[in-house]
Amino acid sequence: MNPLPISAEQSPLLFLELLYKLRVRDVMARNLVTIRRDAPMRELKTLMQERRVSGVPVVEDQRLFGIVSIEDLIQALEANRMDEPVAHFMAANVVTVEEDMPLSIVLSTFNKYEFRRFPVLNARQEAVGIVTARSINTRLLVELFQELARIENQFILPPAESATCYFKTFRIAKSDFENAGKTATEIKNVLQQRGIDPKIIRRVAIAAYELEMNLVVHSDGGTLTFRVDEGEVQLIAKDQGPGIADVTLAMQEGWTTANAWVKSLGFGAGMGLPNVQRVSDEFHIASAPGAGTTVTVRDILPARPLQNLPV
């Protein structure tokens, strides 16, 4: 057996999978440096110098009131107002993220607002950390190198003795966020047991997850059918939901019909169908208003070498 080489195609897929796997709580700084509203700006200056930070959340009893930055400190210095309270300079309308949000959503938030840091809140709306571009990049590099090292030490399993087709249909319920992702995980496990090339498993797992989440978020529920044989892996997601009025528009990155509640959970970023198409060898979607949606994808498996044949 030969070690599995890491292809040029695999690194972007590794990165994409990490964006969906990692949550804000995995990358945020937990040793939160905070200051009170009534603290003078002079105290903020000392705090920033000692802790080497350029922005400090304004927090009292774990409640977030705002955030004050190095720019605010410079403004106070230039105006000779260093004895005034932080409350006079802080930004009160703070954009926050929640600790359970996927990293993919947070990156889009960085792009949208062009801020360098976001306070992190838990389910009780308490300030529990802060996330910066640096903390995200550091964690992503660590995770990426660990995953690449694991793959380098992995071996391709020999062909399964049975060449029979594996076929299963999963029922996906509307808004079932508690179980979302379990179907994609089971599909991934089946492919691993059959000794499929890990880079193909990764692609199929991403497609399965995106299709599963589309059924949960955008439809009235439906089915995800999974089939694998010696030549291909096929996924068919089918629902009787509202359908898509403009399929071309739905295939554009960032376009979504998800409501505010779904977005607050960290879903509905408008990347689902484009991601499915990106990781599939063949992609087809059929949809119309009132007629539901059917998405069919295929990934072709490389031919296995014939072994132990008589000469």
DSSP 254: T
Q: How far is CA 158 from the centre of its chain?
A: 32
- What pLDDT does 271 receive? 61
* pLDDT at position 37 over 80: yes
- What pLDDT does 257 receive? 54
Question: Who has greater pLDDT, 285 or 256?
Answer: 285
- Which of 8-22, 62-76, 138-152, 160-174 has the highest average model confidence (pLDDT)? 62-76
- What pLDDT does 242 receive? 79
- What pLDDT does 15 receive? 65
Strand segments, DSSP code E, in the chain are 55-60, 63-69, 97-98, 117-121, 127-132, 166-172, 222-228, 232-239, 282-288, 292-300
* pLDDT at position 42 over 90: yes
67: confidence class by pLDDT, cuts 50, 70, 90: very high
- What pLDDT does 111 receive? 74
Query: What does the DSSP assignment read for 186-215?
Result: HHHHHHHHTT--HHHHHHHHHHHHHHHHHH
Structure token pair of residue 85:
């309270």
Query: What does the DSSP assignment read for 9-34?
Result: THHHHHHHHHHHH-BHHHHSB-S---
The residues, ordered by sequence, that sit 6+ positions from 303 with a Cβ below 8 Å of its Cβ are none
Amino acid at residue number 102:
P
59: confidence class by pLDDT, cuts 50, 70, 90: very high
* pLDDT at position 265 over 70: no
Q: Going from the N-terminus, what domains does the chain have, and what CATH number goes with each?
A: 24-139 (3.10.580.10), 161-300 (3.30.565.10)
Question: Who has greater pLDDT, 22 or 38?
Answer: 38
Amino acid at residue number 20:
Y
The residues, ordered by sequence, that sit 6+ positions from 298 with a Cβ below 8 Å of its Cβ are 232, 233, 234, 235, 280, 281, 282
* Cα–Cα distance, 133 to 281 (Å, whole number): 33
DSSP 111: H
Question: Who has greater pLDDT, 305 or 66?
Answer: 66
- What pLDDT does 85 receive? 95
253: confidence class by pLDDT, cuts 50, 70, 90: low
The lowest-confidence range among 109-118, 219-228, 248-257 is 248-257
Q: Using an 8 Å Cβ cutoff, are 28 and 120 in contact? A: yes
* Cα–Cα distance, 69 to 276 (Å, whole number): 40
* pLDDT at position 4 over 50: no
DSSP 36: -
254: confidence class by pLDDT, cuts 50, 70, 90: low
Scan for tokens 């000469």, then name that residue.
Answer: 311
Mean pLDDT of 64-87: 93
Helix (H, G, I), strand (E, B) or coil at 1: coil
Is residue 28 left, alpha or beta, with left meaning phi > 0 and alpha meaning psi from -120 to 50? beta
* pLDDT at position 81 over 90: yes
Question: Who has greater pLDDT, 296 or 108?
Answer: 296
Scan for tokens 């959503």, then name that residue.
Answer: 105
180: confidence class by pLDDT, cuts 50, 70, 90: confident
The answer to pTM > 0.75 is: no
Mean pLDDT of 154-159: 39
Which residues, in sequence order, are bridge partners of residue 172? 222
- What pLDDT does 13 receive? 60
Mean pLDDT of 172-182: 78
